[in-house]
Structures are given as C-alpha cells and as structure tokens.
Amino acid sequence: MIERYSTPEIRRLWSLQRKFEVWRDIEIAACEYWHTKGNITDAELNDIRTKSTFTVERISEIEAEIHHDVIAFLTALAENIGPASRHVHFGLTSSDVSDTAQMLLLVEAGELIRKAMRGLLQAIYKLAVDHKDLVVAGRTHGVHAEPTTLGLKFLGHYAELHRADARLAHAIEDCRYGKISGAVGTYSQMPPELEAYVLKKFNLKPETVSTQVIPRDRHAYFLQAIALTGQALYRLMQEIRLLQRTEGREVEEPFQKGQKGSSAMPHKRNPILAERICGLARVLSGYATTAEYNIPLWHERDISHSGAERVILPDATALVEYMLIKSQFVIENLQVHPKNIERVLDATHGLLFSSRALLTVTAQTAMSREDAYAIVQSAAMATWENPGSGNLRSRLESHESLKSISKAEWDNVFDARSFLTHVDTIFARVAKPS
C-alpha cells in the first residue's frame, strides 16, 4: 500500500497490528464457545482473555524462522498466555481464522469506501443542481452535437456513481460471511454450532459450502464493484480533463495557491488530480482481474491466491477510497467559466441546431425528409468550410425553398432552450443523495 494514495484510517485497518487483533478476537470467541461446553475452566478462559497479548515484532521473529504466519501468531500468544494456551486454536485450521478475519476487514474497508462515496455523491449532486440550466455544447465523437446543460452532464455522472454505490453495498453484504469448518470444510474437528457462535459475535453468516477457504467469487465480486467505481470516476474525471483543454476551458479543476504546473512552462495549469484518478482506475481494473483468477483454486484449496490478496485487497480498497476523496475535492472546488462555455457554444456557428432545423424544414414545407436533409446538410457543410461567409441560420433563411418559414419559427429553431424543455423531468427521475 502506497502512503501517498491512502488515508491513515485505512492504513491502520490493513496493518499487521489490526490483522492480528482480529485473529486474536476470533480465537478468543472460539475458546468462549468451548467454555460454554465445559471444556475450558473459568480460570483458563480468564487467562486466555487477559494474557493473549502480542507484538508484531515478536510474531515476525518467529515467522522468519518457521515460515508460517498463523503458527507464528499462535506461538507468540502461547508465550504470554501460558498453560491455558493449549485450548487456543483447538480443532481449527489456519484459514478458519485468517479467512474469517479477512472478510471482517473487507467489510470495514467497504464501509470506509461508502463513507467517502456519500461525500462525493452529495458534492456532485449539488454541482448538477447548481448548473441545471447552464447550456453547454453536447458532443458525440468529440464533435458538437446538440445543446445540453452542464447540470445534466454531471447528473449523469451522479447517477452512475449512485449505481456504483448500490453495487458496493451489495458486495459488502456478500462479504459478510465467515468459515470455521476445519481443514476441508467438513466440521471434522468441531461442531457447526461453534462456527455459528463465533460468527454471530462478528455479525457474519456461515459460508453455505466452504472448502478450506471461503469461495473466492465473493472477493472477486467485491473487487469488481470497486473496479466499476473506479471506471465511473475515470469517466467523470476524463470529462473534466476534456472540458479543461485550452481551446475551450469551460471548467477547470482547482489550482491551489502556490501550486506549480510545469518545471519548464510557468503558464501551465494541468488537471493533475483528474489525470491521477484516471490512472489509478486502470490499476483497480487489474486488481479485479487478479481476483477473478483467484477463484479456480486447486481442489479444496491452494495458496496461489494468498500472496496476490495481500496486495490487491488492501491496495484496491485504499486506492478507491483515496480516489473518491480526491474526486470530492475536485468537484467541490471545480471552476466553471460561463463565458467560455458560451464562446464554445457559438464556435460552430449554429451547427448544434441542425437537427431541429431538419425537423422544422420537414414539418413546414411539403418536401420529403430526404430533400430537407439535403438542404440542411448542404448549408451545414458550407458553414463548416466557410464560417466567415455566414452561419447555419443565415444560409437556411436565405434558401429559396425555405422562404415560407417565418422568423419566429427560425428563432425557435436556434434557441438552445428549445432543446432542453425536459431537463426538470430528467432531474426528477434521479434519487437525491441520502
């Protein structure tokens, strides 16, 4: 996990200290179950609860010698617990503890991610509402198409992120499973009641059919939800990057006091945050692919997934939380330039209105749609090639075949707001942030 791209809170969550704490809590809960069955005395349980201390350094020392992290952990506990340690890990296998703990950490990380998501959703919805009626050039293929509004642009991104949040919520619930079912999942050394007892303490459900591990489709689904969130952020930040290009400069990400844009070119104000988020989204997609490859383990388990998960699970959750937080900062401090937006709207000399012109010509004359299309396209191509000699409206108004169309009708054709009568309807369909 790279400190530059992670918060202190999620780094603490994925620390060795936190992992071993959760392992210890699971081991103690299992001992509590055996205590209810009379297998562990009150005094022994008290020793297990109060003396199960450890240091990461000591566990690392032991692991360096024996090359097994769970046994190293248990050995370190036993050094402090004393004779009662014989009850710790009774009947369990390593994955009973480590897999269940990992799911708990994934759930905790997921909640941090959704907290960051809620902040972004509120910010982007406000931005959309604030600019609901600000007309901008809509583009397809990077080329002017028809007018839209800046608010609608960002409302689309809000709706996508709202769906991403719903997927994350479902994926988190899909991680609320643990397994304490033994070496190959058959409960050969402990009853299912032990599993139920322990998992209930941690608000987890028993895996329906486990092997030595929890099936990895759950982890893959979680990382897919994270990767799709990353792609939603990618699309959002790419839009800002495109709108920030010098030729338009319709919006800009924040450029802070004292910030430098280039070591060689003092004038530069680069969209570095947006670019960073786009780049990190690509990493998330790679992690999701790795998680998919972790699903088909050999038989009841191999450890080909283990090393990969030590990287992809902490890193993916940390990265997406960081990206959400940075995206919120960009959105809350986004600079919008209405004069530049108006200039860009006018840059193609009325070509954005060609579709409405086509409909009007077809409706107001007796000519076929094909003939109407030919007239409007001819005027449009002339405007593309010789904008100085007239705009689309002047060329159409002067066309001999279109003299029957009134000035008022042409005014309506070239009124951007005539394209946007249903903006409020679209906004009404979108759920507000909670």
Same-domain status, 292 and 317: yes
Asked if the model's pLDDT at residue 365 lies above 90, the reply is yes
Task: Determine the pLDDT at residue 242.
Answer: 97
60, 170, 188, 262: the catalytic one is 262
Cβ–Cβ < 8 Å for 119, 328:
yes
Instruction: Please state, in angstroms and rounded to a whole number, the distance separating the CA atoms of residues 114 and 104.
Output: 16
Confidence of residue 10 (pLDDT cuts 50, 70, 90): very high
**Angle (CA) 221 224 227, round 5°:** 155
Residue appearing with tokens 């897919």:
224
Same-domain status, 291 and 217: yes
Instruction: Please state, in angstroms and rounded to a whole number, the distance separating the CA atoms of residues 18 and 25.
Output: 11
Neighbours of 209 (CB within 10 A): 9
Which CATH number characterizes residue 72's domain?
A: 1.10.275.10
Within 52-93, residue ranges assigned H as helices are 56-66, 69-81
Same-domain status, 148 and 240: yes
pLDDT in tens, 220-269: 999 999 999 999 999 999 999 999 999 999 999 998 888 888 788 888 88
Q: Is residue 32 part of a domain?
A: yes
Q: Is residue 242 part of a domain?
A: yes
Task: Determine the pLDDT at residue 264.
Answer: 84
Pick from 9-23, 144-158, 162-176, 266-280: least confident: 266-280
DSSP character for 366?
S
Q: Is residue 47 part of a domain?
A: yes
- Exposed, middle or buried: residue 428 (CB in 10 Å: 0-12, 13-18, 19+)? exposed
Cβ–Cβ < 8 Å for 204, 177:
yes
**Phi-psi domain of 246 (left: phi exceeds 0; alpha: psi -120 through 50; beta: other):** alpha
* pLDDT average, residue stretch 67-85: 97
* pLDDT average, residue stretch 305-313: 96
Same-domain status, 216 and 173: yes
Instruction: Please state, in angstroms and rounded to a whole number, the distance separating the CA atoms of residues 151 and 134.
Output: 7
Looking at the DSSP bridge assignments, the partners of residue 139 are: 144
Residue appearing with tokens 């670019």:
275
Closest CA to 26 of 82, 79, 100: 100
Single residue among 349, 383, 403 that ends a domain in this structure: 349
Instruction: Please state, in angstroms and rounded to a whole number, the distance separating the CA atoms of residues 99 and 221.
Output: 16
Same-domain status, 69 and 176: no
Q: What's the total number of domains in the chain?
A: 3
Q: Is residue 422 part of a domain?
A: no
**Phi-psi domain of 334 (left: phi exceeds 0; alpha: psi -120 through 50; beta: other):** beta
Residue-wise DSSP of 189-258: SS-HHHHHHHHHHTT-EE-SS-SSS--THHHHHHHHHHHHHHHHHHHHHHHHHHHTSTTT--EE----TT
Single residue among 320, 349, 378 that ends a domain in this structure: 349
141, 267, 299, 422: the catalytic one is 141
Token pair of 358, please?
A: 């086509």
Task: Determine the pLDDT at residue 255.
Answer: 87
Closest CA to 374 of 386, 363, 361, 383: 361
Asked if the model's pLDDT at residue 192 lies above 90, the reply is yes
pLDDT in tens, 345-361: 999 999 999 999 999 99
Same-domain status, 289 and 147: yes
Say whether 262 is catalytic: yes
Say whether 422 is catalytic: no
Same-domain status, 313 and 357: no
Q: Is residue 262 part of a domain?
A: no
Same-domain status, 101 and 224: yes
Task: Determine the pLDDT at residue 260.
Answer: 84
Task: Determine the pLDDT at residue 217.
Answer: 97
Single residue among 25, 57, 90 that ends a domain in this structure: 90
Q: Is residue 149 part of a domain?
A: yes
Tell me the CB-side half-sphere exposure of residue 312, using CA atoms within 13 A: 24
Instruction: Please state, in angstroms and rounded to a whole number, the distance separating the CA atoms of residues 358 and 337.
Output: 31
Same-domain status, 304 and 395: no
The 8 Å CB, 24+ separation contacts for 69-78 are 69/98, 70/23, 70/94, 70/97, 70/98, 73/20, 73/23, 74/27, 77/24, 77/27, 77/52, 77/53
Which CATH number characterizes residue 146's domain?
A: 1.20.200.10
Q: Is residue 187 part of a domain?
A: yes
* pLDDT average, residue stretch 138-167: 97
Task: Determine the pLDDT at residue 247.
Answer: 94
Same-domain status, 53 and 144: no
Neighbours of 86 (CB within 10 A): 12
Same-domain status, 132 and 229: yes
Same-domain status, 118 and 158: yes
Q: Is 139 helix (H, G, I), strand (E, B) or coil?
A: strand
Q: 99 is in which domain, residue-wise?
A: 93-254+268-349
* pLDDT average, residue stretch 386-396: 93
Instruction: Please state, in angstroms and rounded to a whole number, the distance separating the CA atoms of residues 212 and 216.
Output: 11
Whole-prediction pTM:
0.95
Token pair of 149, please?
A: 């509004």
Q: Is residue 418 part of a domain?
A: no
